Amino acid sequence: MNELLHNHVITDFNLDIQNNLEDLLNKINIFREAYGKPMIVTSGIRTVEDHFRLYKEKGTKAPMGSQHLQGRAVDIYDEDGELMKYCKENVPLLESIGLWIEDDNSVPRVHFQTVPPKSGHRFFKP
């Protein structure tokens, strides 16, 4: 949970977000166990302030529909693409756990979320 919270404590967030974080933690830990390799969280829950700062640093507009704001998303470092490759080779695992993946190889991370995107696709474009 500390990895998902980063510099926050769970009681900083309302009960819905706390429940979302517990669900995310359970699901990502099931995936982590199946993957069997270290997974480094680069971003978990974000406050609105964190979110705006992050996107300001990138020089782009912050998407306000981000699941990070609701405690339903986590980014895992993936410099060599091995994690994304594993995800694409193990779709039934993702389906059984209830995880969706942002299909974006422009950044060295895999974005997992616990709710389907508008498209409903297991792998979706940002």
Using one digit for the tens of pLDDT, what is the confidence trace for 37-49? 999 999 999 999 9
Residue 100: exposure state from Cβ atoms within 10 A (0-12, 13-18, ≥19): buried
Residue with tokens 């994304």: 84
Q: What does the pLDDT look like over 98-114, one tens digit per residue? A: 999 999 988 999 999 99
Dihedral sign for Cα atoms in the order 35, 101, 59, 65: negative
Residue 20, amino acid = N
For the chain, what are the domain ranges? 2-124
Query: Which pLDDT band, with edges at 50, 70 and 90, does 54 fall under?
Result: confident
User: Which residue reads 């406050």 in tokens?
Assistant: 47
Looking at CATH, the fold of the domain delimited by 2-124 is given as: Muramoyl-pentapeptide Carboxypeptidase; domain 2 (3.30.1380)
Distance from CA of residue 38 to its chain's centroid? Answer: 16
Q: At 41, which helix (H) or strand (E)? A: strand 41-43
